[in-house]
A and B are shown apart, each in its own frame.
Chain A
């Protein structure tokens, strides 16, 4: 996959919030077809990185390239228009709306190029299939503020997938989800992802999940890229083990 074209490129990204520097010059490339895991302790800059490459934050220094085109400083709307979608660590939903309304709205906005938004909502379309795939049919008509956290995560991710992205960024898809639910959740997510042939970058703390799904790992520490390589190589790296995984000894 090393020869696949670069989908997303971060070049020397620096982010300062006043006197605090969250990212200190991160460069990384994600190629089509990869599933990349982003690991690091809290405060290492993982979410800041996602916020920058999705256009929510403008980097203090550095550039973001999407398919070779400089997209630094364009907003999330443009990035989504170019084939990117993301989910959030804390599900970003519309509290008064139901799961079905979320996915139907996402479908309408995904298809806004082909179908006028001044027409009716596309009810009964792709959204129904997505509800079924994520096992959300039973709670499809409940306001999401009354839905358990695990399913809120699924709705959040399903909305991102409704956009038919080429690059999907998942910010801690299993955080706040009980350990029993983590496995099935990731399985559901990855079945849906494989059905669409999507390139994925996901932030995750659970190393079992990381090892099971990723083709490559980026490890952050204090706003710097500590390691970038195959799961085997990165997880055995002495520095990663000590400062990211917080293990005393390297597993052999």
Chain B
């Protein structure tokens, strides 16, 4: 049931949890954001394996953030776990609805259509004065199982929740990739017509995986919203989507480690570049990414040893 890869995942989670008490507040936020973006990348991994790159994944990230914020303000839900559940379900449901249309498109049409949907959400949020227009609104500190959280301890607890959730979701995605259904995505990328002639509707798989990727992005958005204590329409802007696509391309399609690693690298380079050169940080970030893509064209996950099949 549990494989060596699962143990490695659990070990990585344990190390991060153990380090929690040693990390300063700024690092906690940085690392938790990186993990949350890793969760988004896990969803993109599903779609990329099927040969699809959505350029509007920030829509679900943003929806998740707003769902957590509004769940707290309007519905009075304060518990972290309930808010995460709400955000995941809301974004997953949105993914399923958008998926009804988008499942029929491939390549650039898929990418652009998903971006169009995300820009609709961005536009609506920008014009919604009740939701704070371009400023968004602040998200109250959540509670965990009835415990009130404040200050740096709150960050530590949120970080720990993020670590546990990331491990759990990464384990879920890697288990899915090992199932028979997990093999259909790559088959669709390689020869979609043949998949139909094997009796499986490619659109159906893409619809499901798109909804699942929406759910994952929604959970990530909610985590970041609670961590930062603020949501704004920028979470759904195309540049946020672009960042996710960048992580996904840097990650490659080899598995969960590439996705999590790429999110960490992007976030780290981003932070360092911003610190070193506040004016030209984009230049440093872009240059680093360029070098990495030239050096690892198949993504970071191509560095992992290939699964050896029995002879």
Which A residues fall within an 8 A CB radius of B? 54, 56, 75-77, 80-81, 85-86, 92-98, 100-101, 105-106, 108-110, 112, 117-122, 141, 159-160, 163
Contacts and interface: CB of A to CB of B under 8 A. Distances in A.
A77 B183 contact: no
B201 interface: yes
Contacts of B184: 105, 109, 117
Contact of A77 (B176, B181, B187, B196): B196
A223 B200 CA distance: 31
Contacts of B280: none
Given A93-B194, A117-B184, A98 B199 contact: no
A120 B200 contact: no
B193 interface: yes
A80 B196 CA distance: 8
A80 B197 contact: yes
A105 B309 CA distance: 15
24 contacts: A56-B193, A77-B199, A85-B197, A92-B191, A92-B193, A92-B194, A95-B191, A96-B190, A97-B186, A97-B187, A98-B309, A100-B309, A101-B183, A105-B184, A109-B199, A110-B198, A117-B180, A117-B184, A118-B176, A118-B179, A118-B181, A141-B311, A159-B194, A159-B198
B4 interface: no
Interface residues of B, number: 21
A76 B309 CA distance: 32
Nearest to B198: A109
**Which 5 pairs, one residue from A and one from B, show the smallest C-beta to C-beta distance?**
A80-B199, A108-B180, A117-B181, A94-B190, A76-B196
Contact of B201 (A77, A97, A105, A119): A77
Interface of B: 176, 178-181, 183-184, 186-187, 190-191, 193-194, 196-201, 309, 311
A167 to B, nearest CB: 13
A85 B58 CA distance: 41
Contact of A96 (B176, B186, B201): B186
Given A75-B201, A80-B197, 12 more contacts: A56-B193, A75-B196, A77-B200, A92-B194, A93-B190, A93-B191, A97-B187, A98-B309, A101-B183, A112-B199, A118-B176, A159-B198
Contacts of A77: 196, 199-201
Nearest to B196: A76
Nearest to B197: A76
Nearest to A159: B198
A96 to B, nearest CB: 6
B199 A94 contact: no
A105 B199 contact: no
Contacts of B309: 98, 100, 141
Contacts of A81: 199
A76 B198 CA distance: 8
A95 B191 CA distance: 8
A110 B199 contact: yes
Given A77-B199, A163-B198, A117 B191 contact: no
Contacts of B193: 56, 76, 92
Given A77-B201, A109-B199, A141-B309, A121 B191 contact: no
A92 to B, nearest CB: 4
B191 A120 contact: no
Contacts of A92: 191, 193-194, 197
Contact of A120 (B178, B190, B196): B178
A57 to B, nearest CB: 12
B46 to A, nearest CB: 14
A163 B199 contact: yes
Contacts of A75: 196, 201
Contacts of A96: 186, 190
A120 B199 contact: no
B212 to A, nearest CB: 12
Contacts of B311: 141
Contacts of A117: 179-181, 184
A141 B308 CA distance: 10
B190 A109 contact: no
A85 to B, nearest CB: 7
B180 A95 contact: no
A109 B179 CA distance: 12
A120 B180 CA distance: 5
Contact of B190 (A54, A85, A97): A97
A80 B176 CA distance: 25
Contact of B197 (A86, A118, A120): A86
Nearest to A106: B198
A92 B311 CA distance: 25
A86 B196 CA distance: 11
B180 A54 contact: no
Contacts of B180: 105, 108-109, 117-122
B94 to A, nearest CB: 23
B201 to A, nearest CB: 5
**Which of A56, A93, A94, A141 has the most C-beta atoms of chain B within 10 angstroms of its own C-beta?**
A94
A159 B197 CA distance: 10
A137 to B, nearest CB: 12
